[in-house]
Structure 1
Amino acid sequence: MSLWRRLRERLGGAKAPGGAPPVNDGAGDDDVAPPAGERGRSAGGARAAASTRAGAPTTRARPAPRGGDAGDDIARLRSAGTRAGPATDEVIAILRRARGTLREADAVAQLVAAMEERVLPDPVRVACADLLAARGDEQGALRVLEGAALREAVSGPRAARAQPVSSTAGLVLAADLYAAMGQLPRALGAIERVLVREIGAPGARERHQRWRAALGAERPAAPRLDDVTVVAPSAAKSPFRLLREVARGGAGVVYEAEDDVLGRRVGFKVYHGRGSDRAHLTREARLAAALAGPGIVRVFDVDPDEGWIALEWIARGSVRDVLRSGDAAALAPVARWARPLARALARIHERGYVHADVKPANVLLRHLGEPVLTDFGLARPLGAPSAGGSPGYVSPERLAGRPSDPRDDVYGYGRVLEDVLVRLDPLGAEDLSPWKELSLRCLGPDHERPQDGAALVRAAC
C-alpha cells in the first residue's frame, strides 16, 4: 500500500489520485475533523516543537472559508512541483491557511500524492512534514522528510532522486521526530549535522546535550588553553625544531616542524598525555605504516615514550583548512578529490579496518587530485568495539553502540561531501546534483548506504 493510501485512510481524505479527487467545500458530510483521540495520539514533544516552529495556531477547528477559492487552492497542491503548479512560497501559504481547518487533511493528502510522482523542494517537504507531525503522525512526517514516498511509488531513475531533506529546518524537525519515537542515536546524528553547519541554530545545542546525556555518551574533552606548556617540552627530546602550531584537538597538537638533519618539513604531532597515550599513539603509527600507499599519510618517525609522531608535511592542509580559508572554489571539481578519497577508504576496508574518524580535518590535500587520510588513532578492525569519535561525523548506528563497520566510514564520507557541497553550491561552479545524491545516500538509512569503500567507489564513478 502506498504512502498516499495509508495517509488517506488515516486522515479520512479524498479519493485516490486516479479519478477526480473531490475537493471538500466545507458544506458536505465529509467535512468532519478526525476524533480528538486520533488527533492527540502523538509523542507530544516533537509535535509541539514542530507546531511552534511553523507558527501553528493554538486552537483547533477554525472553519475553512466557504466557496470555491479555498477548494481551488487545495486542488492546486496536487500539481506542486510542475511548471503549471504553485510555486514553493504559494504551496507553503496554502498549507498555512489550511492548518487547523477542516481542509487540513485534504491539503496533506493532495501534497503527498504529488510527492509520489515528483521530487518537491525541501521547504515544501518540511512544511508538509511539520503539518503531519502536528496531526500526531510522526511516522508519516519522517517518511516525507526521508523521501520514502517517492521511493516507494516510483522505480527507476526518478526513485534515485528521492533523497532525505538536508536543510537545517528539515534536520531539526527530523531530529525531534526521531527523539519522539525513541530513536535517540538517529536524533543525535541529525542534530550534530546541524551543529557542524550552524552552531547557533536555535535549540540545537540544548537538544544535543540532552540526548547525549540520555544515551550515556561521554562528553568530549575540551582542549585546554595551556596544553602547549604540557606538550612543547617533548620537542627538546626529538630531532625536530618546532616552527608553528597548525592544529589542536582533544588528543594532541600538530606543529609544522623542521628536521635539521635531513632538511625537510614534517607534521609533528604531540599527544597531550605524552607517555600515558603510548598504546593509542603506537596503534596510530603502526596502522598508518601498515596501510602505506595511495591516500594514506606517510609516517617518518615515532617515539611512544615521549608521545610524539612525525608525519609527512602537507602544506595545503586539510579540507577543513580550505573551507575555513573561504577558498571553497579550490575544491571544485568535486570528482578530483572525492573519487580518490573513496578509493583510499576501499583500501582500508579491504585490509580489514575501519578508519572511524573520517571528517574534513582528517582529509589532507597533497594537491586537489590527491587527498590523504590521516589520524588513525580511532581506527579499529572490522567488528571490534568502536571508541570515541568526532561529534557531527559519527553515524547513528555507531552512536547506538554498533561495532566497527565500514558503513560508519561511508557516513563520514557523506558528511565531508555535505560540508563541501554546502559551500560550493552558491558558487555555481559545476553541476553538483550527482554528488548531492551520493552524500544524502551515504547519510541515509543504514541499509541504503554503500556497504563499504568498494561499493562507495562504484557509486562515486
Structure 2
Amino acid sequence: MTTSYKPEPAAGSLLTGKWKGRPYRVLGKLGEGANGAVYLVSGGGRRFALKIGLDAADVQSEVNALTAITSGAGPLAGFLVDTDDFVWRGTSYSFYVMKYVEGKQSSQFLDKEGPEWLGVIGLKLLAQLAHLHERGWVFGDLKTENVLVSAYGDAHLVDFGGLSPIGRSVKQFTEIYDRSYWNAGTRTADPGYDLFSFGVLCLRLLNAGGECFRPGLLPQNRSPELLLRAAETTPSCRPYLPCLRRLLTGGYSSSREAFEDWRAGIYSRYARPRGSGGALGFGFKTGIAVSAILFLSVVYLYIRDLL
C-alpha cells in the first residue's frame, strides 16, 4: 500500500514495533530516497539505522533481499537487525533496522588520508560484492555516496535499496556509474555490472577522468575506452591500472576473481622486495617504511577476516 503522505518523526520521537514491541528512539534523519527515509535511532543502548518505507511491498522486497545476503557468515553477517511495522497518525508503516555504519563518504576519506588507501577500501568492497553475487544478488547503485569508510579504511556498502536479483533488470542506478550509459553492456543485473561500477568508482575516488564526467557528454562519445584513457593519464591510477582495465572491459569471470586479483596487486605493491632497499624493499626513509608496514598489516588483517 502506498500512502498519500509520509511520516516525519522528529528527533526524540519513540517508534515502537507493532508486533515485536521493540522501541527505537529517533536521534535524527540520515537520508531520504524515492521509496523511504533512513533515521539514526537508539535502542537497547546501541545505535542503528532504521528505514521507514512508503510502500509495504517495496519494504518486504528489500527485507527479503537483505535476509538472503546477511544470514550466516560473511562480510555482511548481522547487518539486518529487526523488521516490524509502526503506527503513525493512524496509519501503519513498515520499517527495518540495520547496523549503523559510522564513517565518512569514501571520497571524503581518500581526500583526507590519501589515494593509497584505495587498496584496502577496494579489497573490502570487492569482498562484499563477491558475497552478494554468490548469493544471487547485484548491488546495482554502487557510487561514492553509498560507500562509508571508518578508521583504517574499513569500508561498508550502505543503502541496499538497489539490490536486484541476478538475471533481472537493475533496479536502481546512477548514470555515470552505469555500464549501459558508457555503452559497455546492458543494464541486466550480473556481477559484471557491479564490477564496472566499481571501476568507475575507483576513477572517481582517484580524481581521474574529470572530462569524462562533465555534464552533457554525448552518447556517441561515451565508451569504456574513454574511461581507460583517463585512468592511463592519471598518476594516482597507475598502481591499479591492470585491475581497472579488466573491471572496465568485462575482463573478470567473477567478482571473486576480481577480489583475488586486487589482493595480489596490493601485496605486489607493498610487499615485493626491491633490491637491497630498506624495510619491504622501499628504500625510503624509516618513517615511510614503518607506515608501509602498518598499512600492510591492516591489509593482512582484512584479508584474514574476509576469506
TM-score range, shorter chain: 0.5 to 0.7
- Structure with greater proportional helix content: 1
1:57-206 pair list within 5 angstroms:
none
Q: Which amino acid aligns with 2:196?
A: Y
Structure 1 residues 362, 287: CA separation in 2 closer, same or farther (over 3 Å shift)?
Answer: farther
Q: Does 1:392 align with 2:169?
A: no
SS of 1:337's equivalent in the other structure is: helix
Structure 1 residues 398, 377: CA separation in 2 closer, same or farther (over 3 Å shift)?
Answer: farther
Q: Who is 1:308 aligned against?
A: 95
SS of 2:121's equivalent in the other structure is: helix
Q: Who is 1:94 aligned against?
A: none
Q: Which amino acid aligns with 2:100?
A: W
Aligned with 2:113 (options 320, 325, 330): 330
Once residues 431 and 391 of structure 1 are traced to their aligned partners in structure 2, the CA distance between those partners, rounded to angstroms, is 24
Q: Who is 2:15 aligned against?
A: 236
Q: Which amino acid aligns with 2:15?
A: A
Question: Offset of 1:362 from its aligned partner?
Answer: 2.2
- RMSD over aligned CA atoms reads 3.4
Aligned with 2:240 (options 397, 417, 435): 435
Question: Offset of 1:437 from its aligned partner?
Answer: 4.8
Question: Offset of 1:264 from its aligned partner?
Answer: 0.7
Aligned with 1:457 (options 256, 259, 265): 259
Give the structure with higher Rg (CA): 1
Once residues 193 and 78 of structure 2 are traced to their aligned partners in structure 1, the CA distance between those partners, rounded to angstroms, is 20
Q: Which amino acid aligns with 2:81?
A: F
Q: Percent identity?
A: 22
SS of 1:306's equivalent in the other structure is: strand
Higher RCO (CA < 8 A, seq sep 6+): 2
- Structure with greater proportional strand content: 2
Structure 1 residues 235, 414: CA separation in 2 closer, same or farther (over 3 Å shift)?
Answer: farther
Q: Who is 1:110 aligned against?
A: none
Contact 1:380–1:386 (Cα < 8 Å) also in 2:
yes
Long gaps (5+) in structure 2: 18-22, 86-91, 211-234, 266-307
Question: Offset of 1:296 from its aligned partner?
Answer: 6.0
SS of 1:457's equivalent in the other structure is: helix
Once residues 27 and 8 of structure 2 are traced to their aligned partners in structure 1, the CA distance between those partners, rounded to angstroms, is 14
Contact 1:363–1:371 (Cα < 8 Å) also in 2:
yes
Once residues 95 and 182 of structure 2 are traced to their aligned partners in structure 1, the CA distance between those partners, rounded to angstroms, is 29
Long gaps (5+) in structure 1: 1-226
Contact 2:69–2:132 (Cα < 8 Å) also in 1:
no
Q: Does 1:266 align with 2:48?
A: yes
Once residues 431 and 388 of structure 1 are traced to their aligned partners in structure 2, the CA distance between those partners, rounded to angstroms, is 30
Q: Who is 1:299 aligned against?
A: 80
Once residues 339 and 290 of structure 1 are traced to their aligned partners in structure 2, the CA distance between those partners, rounded to angstroms, is 21
SS of 1:422's equivalent in the other structure is: coil
Contact 1:407–1:452 (Cα < 8 Å) also in 2:
yes
The C-alpha deviation readout for 1:30-88, integer Å capped at 9, x for no partner, is xxxxxxxxxxxxxxxxxxxxxxxxxxxxxxxxxxxxxxxxxxxxxxxxxxxxxxxxxxx
Once residues 432 and 296 of structure 1 are traced to their aligned partners in structure 2, the CA distance between those partners, rounded to angstroms, is 32
Q: Which amino acid aligns with 1:316?
A: G
SS of 1:347's equivalent in the other structure is: helix
Q: Who is 1:139 aligned against?
A: none
